[in-house]
Amino acid sequence: MKLIDGKKIASEILDSLTHKIEQFPRKIGLAFLLVGENQASLAYVRMKKKACSRIGIQSIVKEYPADTSQEELLKEISQLNLDPQIDGILVQLPLPAHFDTLRVTRSIAPEKDVDGFHPINMGKLLLGEADGFLPCTPHGIQQLLAHTLPIEGKHVVIVGRSNIVGKPLAVLLSQKKKGANATVTLAHSQSKNLSEITQTADILIAAIGQPRFIKKEMVRPGCVVIDVGINRVQNEEKLVGDVDFDAVAPIASWITPVPGGVGPMTIAMLMQNTLESATRRG
Ligand code: GUN
């Protein structure tokens, strides 16, 4: 078994972005909107902000109490949409229950939607149009795989069909394009005989959000395993992925650790999208 070092690959990407950002003729700005006090969201925004300062992107974090109204948030977003110093807008999810997440996502100007969640950018991904923004986690996974092995013609099984990871990732990896061209199966909680499906994978991607869901019996020896999960488990200090790492790692050919696998790549792709936005906007 070999570890896929997402932290190292992400760090190399950040270094190459730093160089480009130094040469960019103006400051690049990224705005984070954070509603409520979800501990995981606070931690993610802190890490993203740290990446911004490392590579020279100016970030602003706007924090709102959990009882903020949707109208208030939409108003803030429309101001940021018009602000020439802001190249990217990111609303950290999940939002409190009284928000209509799709409505909020739609209100971000597509050309500043560095998360790639706006329906216009999702649509461009589906159609293979290159002038949108790719969602950061799927793009990060594709880059991790492309760094590790040829994926053309391989059978990729994705477990989990979320709008943020599983669904866009299936589209991205099956594209007729270099670094893609995979045969993709999108499995989920209603899939029958899940274990039989996952055993046919050359590359297995776990994005279910359940700690240690992927057991050794579900994995074919020699499989490449990508763990998208970041779970907190009661009475356990360390973060736990969606893969039972200790049991699966010995039979996998390659596997991502949690943390230090997919997470840093998500952040690197966010930084890349932000520079891309600034470059397009001029
Ligand atoms: N929540 C979980 N993942 C993400 C992400 O990539 N972006 C945002 N904005 N929220 C998230």
Contact 57, 28 (CB under 8 A): yes
Residue 240 CB neighbours (<10 A):
18
Q: How far is the CA of 41 from the centre of ligand 1 (A)?
A: 8
31-58 mean pLDDT: 98
Contact 77, 89 (CB under 8 A): yes
128-141 mean pLDDT: 98
Closest residue CA from atom 1 of ligand 1: 93
Is residue 90 lining ligand 1, measured as CB closer than 6 Å? yes
**Rounded percentage of the chain residues whose pLDDT exceeds 70:** 100
Name the phi and psi angles at 35, rounded to 5.
Answer: -115, 125
Give the domain 26-109 fold: Rossmann fold (3.40.50)
Specify the 3-state DSSP secondary structure of 262: helix
Residue 166 has which token pair? 């599983």
Q: How far apart are CA 231 and CA 122, in angstroms?
A: 26
Q: What amino acid positions are annotated as catalytic residues?
A: 48, 92, 115
pLDDT, tens only, 13-23: 999 999 999 99
51-69 mean pLDDT: 98
Mean pLDDT of the chain: 98
> Which pLDDT does position 110 carry in this prediction?
98
pLDDT, tens only, 207-250: 999 999 999 999 999 999 999 999 999 999 999 999 999 999 99
Residue 94 has which token pair? 């999940």
Statement: 136-263 belongs to CATH 3.40.50.720: yes
The reply to whether 136-263 shares the fold of 26-109 is yes
pLDDT, tens only, 183-209: 999 999 999 999 999 999 999 999 999
Residue 3 has which token pair? 């570890």
- Residue spans of the domains in the chain: they are 26-109, 136-263
Residue 182 has which token pair? 């995979």
